Amino acid sequence: MIRTIVAAIGSLALIGSLAACSSSASEPVEIGANTVVLDVRSPDETASGYLEGAQMLDFNSGEFAAKLPTLDPDAEYLVYCRSGNRAGQAIAMMEQNGFENVTNLGSLEQAASATGLPIVR
């Protein structure tokens, strides 16, 4: 009985944290000199279009996790993917590693709308 309750609480906490991480920026964001736009989609996905100037770090391949220690924790990061889910997971990893200024822009289209950056196709 206690294991069932603990498992249920753990599942709810995970769902809540993923839901919080997968939200996208609801207002336009400004890109400053210390802003890095990260695309955490796969190369196949980025081949169909990406934000101009974005740095590509594939989350699912492990490339993102491998490069995380080389990223500047003091920079501002705007992260996007296909739906916002991987961006949320990437942001959670970043926050666990001391990054404080990170924003989930959601999908490519939402990211383009929020930043005003063109999509390169």
Residue 59 has pLDDT above 90, yes or no: yes
* pLDDT single digits (tens) 60-87: 999 999 999 999 999 999 999 999 999 9
CA-CA distance, 6 to 1, in Å (whole number)?
Answer: 9
Q: What is the CA radius of gyration of the chain?
A: 15
pLDDT for the residue 91? 98
Tell me the domains of the chain and their CATH numbers: 2-120 (3.40.250.10)
Instruction: Round the average pLDDT of the chain to a whole number and report it.
Output: 85
* Strand partners for 107: 81
